[in-house]
Amino acid sequence: MIDEGKNLTKGAYAVADKTSEPVLDAVMIAPENQSPLKAVMVFVFAIIAALVSLVFWLTHPQIDQYTQSVLNLSGDPVQGRSIFVMNCVACHGQWANGKVGPNLHGVSDRKSDARLVQQVVSGETPPMPQFQPSPQDMADLLSYLKQL
Ligand code: HEC
């Protein structure tokens, strides 16, 4: 009986050893090691990172797919001139000197390529209508506007 009891006890230990798993001690930072300055610096860096991304986002506006495909094409200014004559001279004048719409000479100094494309396709500045040229037609038109 005593032996059996001893055996049982041994067995119980054995089972306990098999099932017990190493418990990882959670890494605790002692309160005296938590620096408030560190927390403030992390916060400040987070703010700076957010501001930098905001500025980047504002200065690099997303270019839509249509504009991107126009900018990837090379335009023919002669072709662009004939598209201009058909669609734009009524308002901007035969030689783009301006009538209802403004003089377009040097317009590419004032506006980026992407902005010029937007000006033509957006219809955001009435009475100038919203045009829907094919990317190649728009690339031709753009190359004409840029050499004015
Ligand atoms: C119905 C008249 C009209 C027609 C047609 C027209 N425009 Fe315009 N356009 C305007 C007016 C008005 C403005 C000025 C809009 C504003 O900024 O308020 C303008 C502005 C522009 C500008 C910007 C000028 C600047 O100084 O920033 C460009 C570029 C332009 N037009 C190109 C074109 C092209 C290219 C066509 C032909 C595909 C065209 N427009 C057809 C009336 C017209």
What is the pLDDT tens value at each position of the chain, 148 positions in all? 445 445 555 544 544 455 555 555 555 656 666 678 888 999 999 999 999 988 888 776 667 899 999 999 999 999 999 999 999 999 999 999 999 999 999 999 999 999 999 999 999 999 999 999 999 999 999 999 999 9
Q: Whose CA is nearest to atom 23 of ligand 1?
A: 119
Q: Which residue has the tokens 């045009």?
A: 131
Cα(48) to centroid(ligand 1), Å: 40
Read off the pTM: 0.68
How far is Cα 138 from Cα 3, in angstroms, rounded to an integer? 98
Rounded to the nearest whole angstrom, what is the distance from the C-alpha of residue 126 to the centroid of ligand 1? 9
Work out which ligand 1 atom sits closest to the CA atom of 100. 12
Q: Which two tokens stand for residue 89?
A: 């001279």
**Phi-psi region for residue 96, left (φ > 0), alpha (ψ -120 to 50) or beta?**
left
State which ligand 1 atom lies nearest to the alpha carbon of 116: 29
Domains of the chain listed by start with CATH number: 65-146 (1.10.760.10)
Residue nearest to atom 29 of ligand 1 (CA): 116
Q: How far is the CA of 96 from the centre of ligand 1 (A)?
A: 10
